[in-house]
Amino acid sequence: MEEMKVKTSRQLEVKDLTEKVKGKIDHIEEGLLTLFVPHTTAAVTIQEGDEELWEDMLETYKRLVPLKRDYKHNAKYSGMSGEQNAHAHILSSLIKPSVHIPIEKGKMALGTWQKILFIELDGGRNRKVLLQTLRR
């Protein structure tokens, strides 16, 4: 298993990991790649590499699960700095912490417009993404 570091600077942020991941799997001819985010306030997905779309996604997340609301989690940890993040836990459970990508002929079998996106939901932070491959 390999580990990739991801540094974020904003509370909600999208980072394209595609090129970094390519460099980690270029020695594998065929198999299945799993990326896993071991955090409860971040996620990973596959989506188009369009920064305007990413902003649309983040704005939609904020409408679906507002950052400031009367969340029981936030009330429970009201005296703890940095723990007013129920929105991030809820969103990460909707987006999910992992993706699986087939590897064929030494390349990820992503569609023309598909990119691997790390989604920060409670940043800025130093994060990690775990990569594991099953080889055929």
| CB contact at 8 A, 23 and 4 | no
- The Cα-based distances of 59 to 16, 44, 56, 91, 108 in angstroms read 18, 17, 5, 12, 29
Number of domains in the chain: 1
Q: How far apart are CA 59 and CA 108, in angstroms?
A: 29
How sure is the predictor about 82, in pLDDT bands with cuts at 50, 70 and 90?
A: confident
Q: Output the domain CATH number for residue 44.
A: 2.60.120.460
Mind listing the pLDDT tens digit for each residue in 109-132?
A: 999 999 999 999 999 999 999 999
User: In the prediction, which pLDDT does 4 show?
Assistant: 97
Range of the structural domain that residue 55 is part of: 2-65+74-135
Could you write out the three-class secondary structure of 13-80? EEEECHHHHHHHHCCCCCEEEEEECCCCCEEEEEEECCHHHHHHHHHHHHHHCCCCCCCHHHHHCCCC
Q: Which whole-number Å values give the CA distances from 55 to 15, 61, 119, in the listed order? A: 11, 10, 11
**Which pTM was predicted?**
0.95
What is the amino acid identity at position 58? Answer: L
Over the stretch 46-68, which tens digit does the pLDDT of each residue have? 999 999 999 999 999 999 999 99
d(CA 129, CA 118): 9
